[in-house]
A and B are shown apart, each in its own frame.
Chain A
Amino acid sequence: MSTSETEYLEGKASEEYEHGWSTDIESETTPKGLSEDIVRYISDRKNEPEWLLDWRLKAYEYFTDLLESGHYPDWAHLDYERPDFQDMHYFSAPKDKANYESLDEVPQEILDTFERLGIPLEEQKALTGVAVDAVMDSVSVATTFKEKLKEKGVIFKSFGEAARDHPVIVRQHLGSVVPYTDNLYAALNSAVFSDGSFVYVPEGVECPMELSTYFRMNEKGTGQFERTLIVAEPGAYVSYLEGCTAPMRKETQLHAAVVELIAHEDSEIKYSTIQNWYPGDEEGNGGIYNLVTKRGICKGDNSKISWTQLETGSAVTQKYPSVILAGDDTVGEFYSVAFTKGHQQADTGTKMQHIGKDTKSTIISKGISADVADNSYRGLVKVGKNADDARNFSQCDSMLLGPDCGAHTYPYIESANPSAQIEHEATTSKVGEDQMFYCHQRGLGEEEALKLIVNGFCKEILQELPMEFAVEAKELLAIELEGSVG
């Protein structure tokens, strides 16, 4: 790569994080550290039923055991210090009130925050037809479109509310896809999760709008542990969008979320994510540790779960949104763009577990690395012995934007059924001088050229996003690529 190109790409590292600021809201925060008392406190603050507290306590116990026996999930191609679990806060809530009935009750600072993030709730309500369940730190700030959803019988609530209002459904499904015994961070989340969303779409109902949650971490040194549970009854359809950004912080922040999706017969769940959390500074200090467990189960025949993600933020990302294809004729999809620059590291991919007959999975992963960032795809395709005629197609493409970054692909295939058809394709390319020069010769500068090439590379994935997200996603990629072009 020529000097000026390298300089340009290096220049990108010096960009400051766009959303690097924080709101001044008085917060009520638990003292640092984790104990049974903290777990009880969180449950109490959320007025939870007894069974949920018991579940949390079991998860806490399990977490403690794993920690004591040193069971860290540190097998990924990531290099970072283990979080000190006694050195962080586990709950924080705006002081005056824990929940809001309507937007009028929401403090102005919070509304301003969302405004600055480009998510004015008022406007969204009127213009976009997207229901927004905004999570600021641990407490749900506002939920819109509730009435419209209610008509159809769709439940879209903060997790805390749902646990109180719909204990039977929540209890039946909570931990059924990601049990607290799954891994260290799933156990931690189960013990201390403080909010998140719950979605229930009844039989035969197509959710009338895209559901969106906007998570945002805003409390110094606070880990955010949200929990999302989506249940689609037979024949139901729902598309859920999750978008994230966080303010600049010096301390490392842990984000350990759990997402569980349950798709019954003939239903479909589409889950889309844009993750743009603070990635740390130029030297690689600070930034979010994004260690997340996301999994869905296609429980009934003919059901479908589709994950689409655009990961551009966080210092460290480790997540594998997965699908258990339990029913016959079920479909699992994973579409991912992971963009790492500066000192960012990402180890992401998916697991497709074929159990039912005639199950089908598609994996398309695009990794882009710049500066000294490291980007790994890790995926498992597992075909059980009864999964006759299972099919998988995997494609993993990596793009390197400089001489010092890394791209790695770790595909694992385990097939116990000889009728399975599994295809894997992988490519690694450098944004070539030839491509850049071709664009320059047509009058395009460094930035324009790179945007075009990177957007082209990601096209297959971006078009999987719902329309309003696709535009945002393109813009986000463009912002990521922008630098100090001299």
Chain B
Amino acid sequence: MALLEIENLHAGVEDEDIKILNGVDLTLDTGQLHAIMGPNGSGKSTLAAVLAGREEYEVLEGEILFQGEDLLELEPEERAEEGIFLAFQYPVELPGVSMTNFLKEAVNSVREARGQDELSSADFLKYMREKASLVDIDADLTKRSVNEGFSGGEKKRNEIFQLAMLQPKLAILDETDSGLDIDALQNVSNGVNKLWNEERGFLVITHYERILQYITPDRVHVMLDGEIVHSGDQELAHKLEEKGYDWIREEAAAAAA
């Protein structure tokens, strides 16, 4: 059984007559890492938002199975509890809410749903220090308010840290590499490589081939106008970097005609 099966997914913005996804098909097995590439506005981030259950998007057609279960039936927090994690493109600030407090609530909420005991404060702090050191972030960050006053790079690294804390089955990275300098990019990539294992699948959404120099995907998909129009291996990413998206566009148009 695949970890994630997306079949003929059509989705748009609720209350507005805008269709963004026009029949996405994708299958991801546990232990695999797939990259989704594509130009701006092709629907990559919408796909991530729909998977995480963002309410302003409406699914019009198709289905999503997560570990064989209908994902669309679940509330966003239930999806998180089932093991879906989204690293946000724009992480949100929560003024006055300390990272420690936030993560303690989140980790224990997820643990409870998975039938595990709540961590005591001491065990939680120990666990948090372990994970911080695993993804190589400054432990001082956990004393600050969630994302408040964080630099762009810190916010993105903080997403990877949360991924490490929450131990999801499926991690979706929504342009986590955008806006990072080379050091931060390496740090994020190292984090992903450490967290990528047999038990976990990754969906890495990106504009650039750059991150794929550090992370080797099993598959690369190209999204165009709300559809996956081409899939291949890492070579495809290099080709896109060299040639851009026009050839794919032409290919897709030819196939449609």
Interface assignment of A242: CB less than 8 Å from any CB of chain B: no
Contacts A437-B54, A443-B81, A445-B77 given; 9 further ones with Cβ under 8 A? A435-B92, A441-B79, A442-B109, A442-B110, A443-B80, A443-B106, A443-B113, A448-B109, A452-B105
- A441-471 contact mask (Cβ, 8 Å, vs B): 1 or 0: 1111100100011011111100000000000
Q: How far is A438 from B162 in the complex, measured between Cα atoms in Å? A: 12
Partner of B102, one of A2, A432, A437, A452: A452
Partner of B96, one of A438, A445, A459: A459
Tally A residues with Cβ within 8 Å of B: 24
Interface assignment of B88: CB less than 8 Å from any CB of chain A: yes
Q: A2-B55, A442-B106, A444-B109 are in contact. Are A452 and B94 (CB under 8 A)?
A: yes
Q: How far is A455 from B92 in the complex, measured between Cα atoms in Å? A: 17
Interface assignment of A16: CB less than 8 Å from any CB of chain B: no
6 pairs across A/B with beta carbons < 8 Å?
A: A435-B94, A437-B76, A438-B88, A441-B53, A443-B77, A456-B96
Interface assignment of B21: CB less than 8 Å from any CB of chain A: no
What residues of B have a CB within 8 angstroms of the CB of A437 in the complex?
A: 52, 54-55, 76, 92
Q: How far is A443 from B80 in the complex, measured between Cα atoms in Å? A: 5
Partner of A458, one of B54, B96, B110: B96
Interface assignment of A434: CB less than 8 Å from any CB of chain B: yes
Q: How far is the CB of A191 from chain B (nearest CB, A)?
A: 44
Interface assignment of A14: CB less than 8 Å from any CB of chain B: no
What residues of B have a CB within 8 angstroms of the CB of A2 in the complex?
A: 55-56
Interface assignment of A27: CB less than 8 Å from any CB of chain B: no
Number of A-B contacts (CB under 8 A): 79
Q: A2-B55, A456-B94 are in contact. Are A440 and B75 (CB under 8 A)?
A: yes
Chain B stretch 78-97: residues in CB contact (< 8 A) with chain A: 79-81, 85-86, 88, 91-97
What residues of B have a CB within 8 angstroms of the CB of A460 in the complex?
A: 96
Closest B residue to A463 by CB, please name it: B96
Closest A residue to B110 by CB, please name it: A443
Q: How far is A435 from B96 in the complex, measured between Cα atoms in Å? A: 13
Q: How far is the CB of A122 from chain B (nearest CB, A)?
A: 30
Q: How far is the CB of A427 from chain B (nearest CB, A)?
A: 10
Interface assignment of B4: CB less than 8 Å from any CB of chain A: no
Interface assignment of A4: CB less than 8 Å from any CB of chain B: yes
Q: How far is the CB of A449 from chain B (nearest CB, A)?
A: 8
Partner of B94, one of A443, A445, A453: A453
Partner of A434, one of B85, B92, B145: B92
Q: A2-B55, A4-B55, A435-B92 are in contact. Are A441 and B97 (CB under 8 A)?
A: no
Q: How far is the CB of A2 from chain B (nearest CB, A)?
A: 5
> Is B80 touching A440 in the complex (CB atoms < 8 A)?
yes
Interface assignment of A18: CB less than 8 Å from any CB of chain B: no
